[in-house]
């Protein structure tokens, strides 16, 4: 039985032409040999498995070849080439800097370089993982590296160029090796499979090439592993099973479920993926990559960016037709945000499930009952006030005005008396009156709040607003008949009493608690307001405010005007604690994580 040699060694390139994916570098090295323009030191940088050490060996063998070919490749027949191929050449020395990284090791190297080559022109020293040398060793190496004997050439290889000191870099010709493309790796694997008599599906070789992440050595190692698992016939299904990779069909099924809004099927598919042993973070990253591949298939100009097999490419082209570009943009954003937040999440499964639900709802396919629909469905049943209603729940606009509790009761009582007096029998008007009373009570108790849409509607209906004011003033006209004068102290005291009556409305109360009315003329006063929203809220309360002040001051001519301040600085005094917290979170998202970890919230 012949000894087995791994493919990464057996099919290691032995000439510049067989190096995969580094054409620019190999051509540069060949040209330097052609014109006899060789540097004393070279630095090969790049990721693992891309051919750094291989190119260094080929270069060392070629410059010592006695009979190079016309295209400046080693002949592999002369004494120097034969000695190199049999690993007995005394002209080429390989050192591992990871284990020989001290000053003493460099001193030994400096002593060794003085010996001229026995065969060939140059003594070549290949130093692998050179970034592992200590700072003292680098400094000891500087002089020899800059001015070595004429017969010496240093070739250093490293995966971490940033760890090499600048004085070393300045003395070398630097070559940056690139990651090998998926297609180049696939072609090389196809060549190896033919040499080994292995039948391999194109999609299977693509999966191996993608798994290798640009490293040819990794790809050949994975190839050997799959051959050991499947024998001489490599299939796509066996490959993904052995490598523990999610197949394309899983993502295609999910895409269809996302487009149809089938969140139940998407969650079940995710659960099945977890039961197969896949990490949720790997799954969501795969979804983002899958949507990216679908996006590049939407335009003929970007189809070439898709690095998959022929069958998979056809499937991607078909599936991309059911997704709009807008859907793919938003889906990629959601999946990528989930991927970024995955490590910091305490409940990782829930985070991914929320992302899946958001993707399902991009096109509005998930039907979620709105607040309006819920109210409409329950309109035939008795209204029951909920005690544990969430603070941040958004209520539908339900009222035109918001009144203090005491004023609501007084208004309701007087309105009922007028109803009886005028013999109003329209049941719909009575229901509206009861609804207004109930909604106003909800606002006072903190269960509902002023709606921007409602305020805008009020602003767009000046006639209706004037009718409300005139109607309310008429209701109380008989109660305030005098126009007594009052002092500034009496005005301030009355105003403060009114502010205290609004204490449960935190936003309005915080704004008004330190406010002072300014006299415009006679019994007309003004109040400066810094916010358009606050001004609209105060305008909504204005009829009740005026009536309260008139009764307390016994002055039927009292009136108040709200003036929007022209200052660009908007105060935050009138904001609730929850709104202030929200502002802090917008300025620094880490505040939200802190509140969640500490379990902080507002009752």
Same domain, 196 and 272: no
Residue 200 β-bridge partners = 234
The CATH number assigned to the domain holding 290 equals 1.20.272.10
| pLDDT, position 574 | 53
130: DSSP letter: G
Q: Is residue 280 part of a domain?
A: yes
Same domain, 350 and 435: no
* Interatomic CA distance for residues 569 and 591, integer angstroms: 24
Q: Is residue 588 part of a domain?
A: no
Q: Inter-axis angle of helices 202-212 and 216-230, to 10 degrees?
A: 130
Say if residue 157's pLDDT is above 90.
Answer: yes
The CATH number assigned to the domain holding 132 equals 3.40.50.300
Say if residue 376's pLDDT is above 50.
Answer: no
| pLDDT, position 479 | 56
Same domain, 459 and 325: no
By mean pLDDT, which of 60-69, 156-165, 360-369 is the weakest? 360-369
Burial class of residue 328, CB neighbours in 10 A (0-12, 13-18, 19+): buried
> pLDDT (tens digit, 9 = 90+) per residue, 184-212?
898 999 999 998 888 888 888 888 988 88
> pLDDT (tens digit, 9 = 90+) per residue, 423-464?
444 444 444 444 444 444 443 333 334 443 343 344 444 444
322: DSSP letter: T
388 vs 310: which has the higher pLDDT: 310
Number of domains into which the chain is organized: 4
| pLDDT, position 575 | 64
Single residue among 475, 495, 514 that ends a domain in this structure:
475
**Quick one: which of 142, 92, 100, 145 has its CA closest to 120?**
92
* Interatomic CA distance for residues 288 and 336, integer angstroms: 6
Say if residue 505's pLDDT is above 90.
Answer: no
Q: Are strands 152-158 and 123-128 parallel, antiparallel or unpaired?
A: parallel
Residue 283: both structure tokens together? 């799954």
Single residue among 475, 498, 533 that ends a domain in this structure:
475
Same domain, 157 and 223: no
**Quick one: which of 118, 167, 127 has its CA closest to 143?**
167
* Interatomic CA distance for residues 319 and 298, integer angstroms: 10
SS3 content of the chain, % helix, strand, coil (to 5): 55, 10, 35
C-alpha dihedral sign at 547, 551, 552, 555: positive
**What radius of gyration do the chain's Cα atoms show?**
40
Same domain, 220 and 266: no
**Quick one: which of 12, 82, 79 has its CA closest to 49?**
12
Quick one: which H or E segment has residue 360? helix 348-360
**Quick one: which of 190, 192, 203, 208 has its CA closest to 235?**
203
Say if residue 257's pLDDT is above 60.
Answer: yes
Same domain, 170 and 53: yes
- pLDDT over 70, % of the chain: 78
Q: Is residue 480 part of a domain?
A: no
Single residue among 220, 243, 266 that ends a domain in this structure:
243
Q: Is residue 594 part of a domain?
A: no
Q: What is the DSSP string of 12-27?
A: ---SGGG--S-HHHHH
* Interatomic CA distance for residues 38 and 586, integer angstroms: 59
CB contact burial 412-437 (16+ within 10 A = b; e otherwise): beebeeeeeeeeeeeeeeeeeeeebb
Same domain, 143 and 20: yes
Q: Is residue 491 part of a domain?
A: no
Q: Collapsing DSSP states into helix, strand and coil, what is residue 510?
A: helix
Same domain, 13 and 161: yes
Say if residue 389's pLDDT is above 50.
Answer: no
Indicate the pTM of the whole model. Answer: 0.55
End-to-end CA distance of the chain: 78
Q: Give the pLDDT band of residue 394 (cuts 50, 70, 90).
A: very low
**Quick one: which of 377, 383, 505 has its CA closest to 434?**
383
The answer to whether residues 310 and 295 touch, using CB atoms and an 8 Å cutoff, is no
Burial class of residue 202, CB neighbours in 10 A (0-12, 13-18, 19+): middle
Q: Is residue 562 part of a domain?
A: no
Same domain, 104 and 215: no
Same domain, 223 and 138: no
Same domain, 150 and 281: no
> pLDDT (tens digit, 9 = 90+) per residue, 284-297?
999 999 999 899 88
Q: Collapsing DSSP states into helix, strand and coil, what is residue 170?
A: coil
Q: Is residue 532 part of a domain?
A: no
Say if residue 565's pLDDT is above 60.
Answer: yes
> pLDDT (tens digit, 9 = 90+) per residue, 50-71?
989 999 999 999 998 888 888 8
Range of the structural domain that residue 326 is part of: 248-360
Q: Is residue 565 part of a domain?
A: no
Note the Cα 601 to chain centre separation in Å.
26
Place of tokens 């790049």: 46
Same domain, 11 and 155: yes
* Interatomic CA distance for residues 325 and 112, integer angstroms: 64
* Interatomic CA distance for residues 306 and 295, integer angstroms: 10
The CATH number assigned to the domain holding 219 equals 1.10.8.60
């Amino acid at each position: 039985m012949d000894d087995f040699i791994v493919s990464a060694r057996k099919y290691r390139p032995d000439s510049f032409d067989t190096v995969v994916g580094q054409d620019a570098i190999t051509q540069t090295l060949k040209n330097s040999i052609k014109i006899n323009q060789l540097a004393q030191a070279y630095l090969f940088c790049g990721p693992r498995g891309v051919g750094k050490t291989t190119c260094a060996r080929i270069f060392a063998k070629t410059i010592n070849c006695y009979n190079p070919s016309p295209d400046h490749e080693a002949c592999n027949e002369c004494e120097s080439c034969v000695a190199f191929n049999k690993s007995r050449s005394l002209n080429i020395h390989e050192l591992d800097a990871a284990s020989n990284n001290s000053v003493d090791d460099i001193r030994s190297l400096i002593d060794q370089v003085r010996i001229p080559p026995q065969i060939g022109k140059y003594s070549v020293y290949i130093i692998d993982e050179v970034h592992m040398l200590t700072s003292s060793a680098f400094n000891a190496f500087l002089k020899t590296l800059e001015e070595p004997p004429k017969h010496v050439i240093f070739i250093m290889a490293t995966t971490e160029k940033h760890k090499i000191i600048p004085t070393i870099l300045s003395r070398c010709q630097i070559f940056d090796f690139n990651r090998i493309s998926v297609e180049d790796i696939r072609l090389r694997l196809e060549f190896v499979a033919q040499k080994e008599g292995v039948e391999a599906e194109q999609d299977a070789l693509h999966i191996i090439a993608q798994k290798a992440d640009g490293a040819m050595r990794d790809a050949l190692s994975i190839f050997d592993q799959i051959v050991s698992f499947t024998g001489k016939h490599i299939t796509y299904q066996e490959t993904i099973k052995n490598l523990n990779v999610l197949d394309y069909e899983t993502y295609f099924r999910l895409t269809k479920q996302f487009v149809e809004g089938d969140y139940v099927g998407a969650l079940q598919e995710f659960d099945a993926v977890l039961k197969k042993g896949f990490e949720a973070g790997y799954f969501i990253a795969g979804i983002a990559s899958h949507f990216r591949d679908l996006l590049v298939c939407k335009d003929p100009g970007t189809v070439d960016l898709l690095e998959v097999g022929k069958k998979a490419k056809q499937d991607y082209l078909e599936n991309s037709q059911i997704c709009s570009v807008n859907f793919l943009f938003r889906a990629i954003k959601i999946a990528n945000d989930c991927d970024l937040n995955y490590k910091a999440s305490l409940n990782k499964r829930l985070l991914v499930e929320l992302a899946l639900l958001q993707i399902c709802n991009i096109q509005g396919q998930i039907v979620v009952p709105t607040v309006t629909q819920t109210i409409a469905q329950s309109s035939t049943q008795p209204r029951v006030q909920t005690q544990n209603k969430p603070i941040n729940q958004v209520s539908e606009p339900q009222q035109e005005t918001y009144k203090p509790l005491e004023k609501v009761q007084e208004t309701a009582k007087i309105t009922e008396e007028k109803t009886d007096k005028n013999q109003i029998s329209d049941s719909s008007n009575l229901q509206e009156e009861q609804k207004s009373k109930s909604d106003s009570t909800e606002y006072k108790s903190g269960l509902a709040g002023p709606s921007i849409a409602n305020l805008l509607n009020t602003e767009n209906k000046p006639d209706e607003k004037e009718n409300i004011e005139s109607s309310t003033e008429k209701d109380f006209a008989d109660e305030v008949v005098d126009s007594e004068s009052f002092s500034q102290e009496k005005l301030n005291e009355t105003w403060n009493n009114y502010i205290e009556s609004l204490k449960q409305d935190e936003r309005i109360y915080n704004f008004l608690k330190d406010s002072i009315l300014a006299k415009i003329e006679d019994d007309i006063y003004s109040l400066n307001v810094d916010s358009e929203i606050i001004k609209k809220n105060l305008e909504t309360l204005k009829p009740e405010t005026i009536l309260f002040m008139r009764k307390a001051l016994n002055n039927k001519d009292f009136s108040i005007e709200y003036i929007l301040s022209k200052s660009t600085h908007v105060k935050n005094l009138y904001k609730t604690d929850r709104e202030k917290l929200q502002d802090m979170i917008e300025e620094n998202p880490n505040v939200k994580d802190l509140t969640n970890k500490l379990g902080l919230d507002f009752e």
